[in-house]
Amino acid sequence: MPVLPELAAVLAAASARTRPEPPGGGPVLREAARGYWDRRGLHGTVAGIAAAPGAQPLLLALIGAHGGDVLMPRPCPAAWMPQARLLGHPAYHVPTPAECGGIPDPYALLETVRRVRAEGGRPKLLLLSVVDDPTATVALPELVREACEAAVDEGLHIISDETWRDTVHRPRDTVLLSPAEMCPDDVTVLADLSGALLPAAWPVAVARFPDTARAAVRHARTLDILTALGALVAGPVAHAAGHALGEPDSVRDRIQRAAALNTEVAAAAHRAVLGSGALARPPEAGCHLYADLGPLRSRLADLGVTDSMELEEYLTGRLGAPAPGGHRFGDELGALRVRLGTGPLLGATPQHRAESLAAAKPLELAHVARALDDFAAVFADLR
């Protein structure tokens, strides 16, 4: 999306700030993050907030602060498993329910915990995302509750990645329940602001810790790791992030416009994928969808595509845009799954993307219609 002019002005006004924020963020940024979560029913104190230059260093610090083995759903964001491995923490995938991605099936979670302990492991941490990347689904509240209760009963702490919560396509029709609302003492919430509030080139992520003595110790450990990594938020970027977290009218309007645009474009891309005979859950958030081309295996084999690595190479070349295969998200290599971003469908130039964002009927714009036709043609060739 084009940079919001108001945020660009805020960043420019702070360009003379030559010093980075202190480890975990300065008081203004942390207060803005506290207010952001407070407006979403997650109340807490500034002392329970930590910020870092992006979700990856922050999640790395959180995993390092907790210790023990890590569990996560399959599929999951591409960075999760490598970060656990980088720290030397054993990590295990847990299947997701049929209805959505992002959270583990509660029965599969219990079985995985039992198996890991029987093998001498120490499962301590569960990563999940109620609004999921890569599947672009939103977990139903009852499924979230069951998964969280199973995790807490087994002594697991939960890190809830809520980066995409502000990108839900139909917020009035979607009930979004944060695990921190159900298990306030056992959930740390993580949000990468590049999901909805900031451009990806301005890296800031924030975490909200529970208001407990144990969480205060983990917060301190997290800051120690961020310090060791030199993971400090740039001063001008922190100023812009604080402004965005305050959600002035311009930021709220941008979020709503972007969600409305992605709703239409992602739905059109979803129809094209289904028209080829492939499978995909209807996208409910974000700017992507997760497709299963298993039903097209025979046709793909004729084209020399037999696994998700080859599928990634084939579709990236045909679409002219990255199409990461499911193996990057924890799926089996032999499963023909792929994450398809809808951003390239909005236009190749800043002007086209701005027109898409402002249009009342974006699918009728010439550049969007042409991009969707090209996208659909790639999948039609696979029928």
Kindly list the strands in the beta sheet with 288-292, ordered across the sheet, starting from the edge strand earlier in the chain.
279-280, 288-292, 337-341
Whether 1 has a pLDDT exceeding 90, the answer reads no
Region of residue 160 (left: phi > 0; alpha: psi -120 to 50; beta: else): beta
- One-letter amino acid identity for 326? G
One DSSP character per residue, 8-27 reads HHHHHHTTT--SPPPTB--H
pLDDT band at 370 (very low <50, low <70, confident <90, very high): very high
pLDDT band at 2 (very low <50, low <70, confident <90, very high): confident
Which one, of 321, 33, 345, lies nearest residue 198 by Cα? 33
pLDDT band at 195 (very low <50, low <70, confident <90, very high): confident
pTM value is 0.95
Q: What is the pLDDT of residues 33-49, one digit of tens each?
A: 999 999 999 999 999 99
Average pLDDT of every residue of the chain: 96
In the chain, what percentage of residues exceed pLDDT 70?
100
What distances in angstroms separate CA 377 from CA 104, 261, 371, one per listed residue? 35, 22, 10
Q: Supply the DSSP symbol for 70.
A: E
